[in-house]
Structure 1
């Protein structure tokens, strides 16, 4: 009697497998698999994008700051930001200096240079530098090759800017 029950269970299982196999045949099964894989790809893409973009609040405003994963010179960094509707970050207050320094983990280009008029530091929006957060004895190359400004997070927060040659390839921060 027990063998008959086992036989019936095996027979029922075998029938279910045949029915399931018939349900997922040909183009219908292929479409389901393709849609599933497509959804997985979209979720992975969203995950990668979110790892590279930080939406952070700054004061009473919302700001979008992008910390690059690529190394670029100052001009290419700026172009990268501009191609995405942003520009290199402008740090024109103590509050913003503290904020940007708090999440920069490596040296990064900021939107300050004297590439247009030697010795006259200007932001990427052409506004003049009113307050700087220079490292000790910086800037030290007015009139030379160090025309672009980098923020060094390893230095004291209120004194971590350095002028460098714009050709160095480092990370950068875009602001929108």
Structure 2
């Protein structure tokens, strides 16, 4: 009896699961922009890519993105008109990573400098941004 040799499986690229330019982590896909926009413009661009600004409510995700991002990036956290911090999906802020007490500005960026890396800024400033979507 002749047996054909088993063909090797060709590994599929994980980044294709998320799409070109996205990085995969656990059940999420992240896009680190190379363009700078205001917080609102950044959110619109993320939505046009099929996601939204990143929600960093899990320590594993925060740690992963802190290692990947060494610049200043908008994330999906801002202060509502009533003064409450909330994520773009409407969930309340749980554990935070403020580098110092939040200032008067209403939008949040991550500075990529260690565990306590969130700071507030005026939403009209331009910065890089991180988009997130489910795999």
Q: TM-score range by the shorter chain?
A: 0.7 to 0.9
Q: CA deviation at 1:124?
A: 0.3
What is aligned with 2:3? none
In the TM superposition, structure 1's runs of 4+ consecutive aligned residues that sit over 4 Å from their partners are none
Q: Whole-Å Cα distance in 2 between the matches of residues 118 and 76 of structure 1?
A: 22
- The alpha carbon displacement at 1:56 in A equals 2.0
Match in the other structure for 1:112: 77
Match of 1:84 in 2: 49
Instruction: Give CA-to-partner distance per residue, 1:101-133, whole Å, 9 cap, x none.
Output: 11012100000001x334200000000001100
With normalisation by structure 2, the TM-score equals 0.80
How many residue pairs get matched? 115
For 2:25, the equivalent position in structure 1 comes to 57
Question: Structure 2: any 5+ residue segments left out of the alignment?
Answer: 1-18
Instruction: Note the alpha carbon deviations across 1:76-110, whole angstroms, 9 max, x for none.
Output: 00000111210000000211111111101210000
Task: Answer with 1 or 2: which has the greater Rg.
Answer: 1
Pick from 158, 166, 172 the counterpart of residue 123 of structure 2.
Answer: 166
Aligned partner of 1:134 in structure 2 is 98
